[in-house]
């Protein structure tokens, strides 16, 4: 396959939560590499604006908490493009009010827990279920956006992090059950990524806490995560399935307290 294996020429890709942040960056990158796109988002106006910028893309309304909406997304994709090659499950329940309410388990509202799981876990499952027959036909693949918090404990975001951990296991389950049909399923686990939603939800002192634990000189950008997603979606990753690619600038790779050690030894 050579160096062209990273290209996505002719592939039909659905990106959920594709209207902004990581989803929009991934849409732009996949389009640049030759994919035809469905940008699915609850914010249809923003999805339509992005689709208008790209050479071969359509926008669809998606409410991941609504089973019929999620199934209709896949059906509309196949009806319009005739096939489906890549499903990028990127949409999740986000926003400053959600982040502020999502704390530890002792103080967790059942309604927030249920809403988080309805969107993040149940919605992702339904999208995968609807897509898999078409991915079997095309020998396509799924890339799920999870989080490095799916692999770590934290004092906040118990609902979000545990929902993403459930998607990690769903990723492995689909890889195991459908690999024999030529379907791959992987996940990308970003760390704190500088998106408009993040800037609104997390004040500078909290962002600084994570930045100090990052092995790079900055937090990740949406384009950084898009590169990981596009790689896993491409034929260059043809022998990779059931894996979680952690793209967090090394924040999860070291012992806790590295920021304190840096300060003690006078680094930076």
Task: Please answer whether residues 154 and 160 qualify as being in contact, where contact means their C-beta atoms are separated by less than 8 angstroms.
Answer: no
- As given in the structure block, the two tokens for residue 235 are 């034929």
For tokens 């003690």, name the residue.
Answer: 264
Q: Answer yes or no: 160 catalytic.
A: yes
d(C-alpha 257, C-alpha 177), whole Å: 39
Going from the C-alpha of 182 to that of each of 94, 174, 264, the distances in angstroms are 33, 11, 51
Residues 6 or more apart whose CB falls under 8 angstroms from that of 74 comprise: 14, 84, 87, 127, 130, 131, 134
Query: Which stretches of the chain are DSSP H helices?
Result: 21-32, 44-53, 67-81, 96-101, 110-117, 123-138, 158-178, 196-201, 204-213, 222-233, 258-264
User: Alpha-carbon torsion 39, 95, 156, 24, what sign?
Assistant: positive
> Across the strands, what pairs with 126?
none
Catalytic one among 160, 201, 229, 241?
160
The CA-based diameter of the chain, rounded to the nearest angstrom, is: 60
> Across the strands, what pairs with 190?
247
Which active-site residues does the annotation give?
160
């Amino acid at each position: 396959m050579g160096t062209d294996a990273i290209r996505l020429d002719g592939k039909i890709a659905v990106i959920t939560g594709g209207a902004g942040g990581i989803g929009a960056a991934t849409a732009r990158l996949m389009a640049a590499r030759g994919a035809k796109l469905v940008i699915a988002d609850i914010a249809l106006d923003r999805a339509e604006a992005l689709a208008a910028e790209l050479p071969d893309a359509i926008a669809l309304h998606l409410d991941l908490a609504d089973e019929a909406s999620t199934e209709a997304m896949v059906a509309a994709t196949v009806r319009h493009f005739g096939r489906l090659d890549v499903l990028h499950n990127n949409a999740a329940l986000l926003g400053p009010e959600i982040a502020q309410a999502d704390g530890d388990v002792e103080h967790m509202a059942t309604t927030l827990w249920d809403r988080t799981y309805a969107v993040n876990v149940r919605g992702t499952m339904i999208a995968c279920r609807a897509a898999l027959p078409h991915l079997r036909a095309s020998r396509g693949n799924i890339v799920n956006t999870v989080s490095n918090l799916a692999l770590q404990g934290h004092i906040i975001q118990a609902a979000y992090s545990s929902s993403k951990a459930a998607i990690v296991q769903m990723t492995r389950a689909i890889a195991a059950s459908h690999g024999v049909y030529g379907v791959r399923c992987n996940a990308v686990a970003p760390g704190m990524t500088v998106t408009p939603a993040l800037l609104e939800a997390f004040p500078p002192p909290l962002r600084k806490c994570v930045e100090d634990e990052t092995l790079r000189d900055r937090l990740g950008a949406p384009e950084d995560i898009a590169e990981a997603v596009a790689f896993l979606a491409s034929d260059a990753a043809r022998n990779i399935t059931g894996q979680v690619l952690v793209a967090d600038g090394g924040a999860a790779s070291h012992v806790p307290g590295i920021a304190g050690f840096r300060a003690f030894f006078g680094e930076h």
